[in-house]
Amino acid sequence: MTLRSLPSEILLSILRLLPTKSLVCVSITSKYLNILTKDDSLWKSRCGVDTYQSPYPYLSYRKFYQQALHRHGYLRGIWLCDEDFEGALVYIFYQLSTKSYQFRFLDITRDGESTALHLNPISFSRSDGISLIERIDESIVTRGKYSSRYKDGDEFPPRNIPAEARISRSILNVSTGHCQTSIDNLSTRFFQLASDCVGIDTSGRYRNLLFYKLDPRMWQPHPDRPFRGMWAASYGPHGNEFIWFSQPDVTTIDAVKLTGDINVPRGESSFKITLKIEDTPDPDFPNRPVCRGKGQISEIYFHQLD
């Protein structure tokens, strides 16, 4: 029995399992298979069934994939931007109506409701006072913002964020004089973008921004790890940031900052929680299960201890 002798329904089921490159190779083996591989159902799933209900303005899903997604379809997804200490999350999607890729920075805004702040005044002794001037380390102030580097600053993505590969920022703004011409040799996990393409830069520095595509498994919960995923966190007056709840095991949550600031940069652990309910009730949280955790307090600039 040969493939040609199989019913077309069975052949289509087999072809759906093939990678796109293999599907194209099969299409040039015979006229019959060439006609069969043009079945639009084979290409609809490769374009994204849930995202695109219709290929319009393209004539078919095959044309849509061929003209729009074949070379640059890997751009669709959530990317981590190496924007100094702050970092950023970027969502890239293909807009059919304009036939273009849309590049949007993700931001967090509150709904306008503010959390009530309750202060408990305590007596203060002048002899125990600390001068604000004395608190600031002069060596830190004179170093400036961009000289206060930490040992993970050259590596991207940071080590606390899972990645298939990591890259050194030292390669940015360096041209090798060689451009890849084969799609197979292009990276689908990293890309660079000139900073002047994403807004007004007032720093006076011309630089490229480096992006890494996050693995969807980072934000997909698991029955054994229900808290794993990307969360929007409010740090009060400090602002809102994106954090990633990693669950290295079923009893631990490690909250890693996807976006940060100069005091606690992106990629650093913000807090850790042990998922073990305390036996003794906490009076501050009556009738609530309480777990203990520990967090990292920001300081004047960030110091990563060896």
Query: For 110-158, what is each residue's pLDDT tens digit?
Result: 766 555 555 555 554 545 444 444 444 444 443 444 444 555 567 888 8
Q: Specify the pairing of strand 155-156 against strand 77-81.
A: unpaired
Which pLDDT score, from 0 to 100, does residue 173 have?
54
- Residue bearing tokens 């931007």: 81
Query: For 28-63, what is each residue's pLDDT tens digit?
Result: 988 999 999 999 999 998 998 677 888 999 999 999
pTM above 0.85, yes or no: no
Helix (H), strand (E) at residue 63: helix 61-64
Q: Which residues have C-beta within 8 Å of that of residue 295, sequence separation ≥ 6?
A: 270, 271, 272
Domain ranges of the chain: 3-70, 128-295
**299: closest CA among 259, 270, 262?**
262
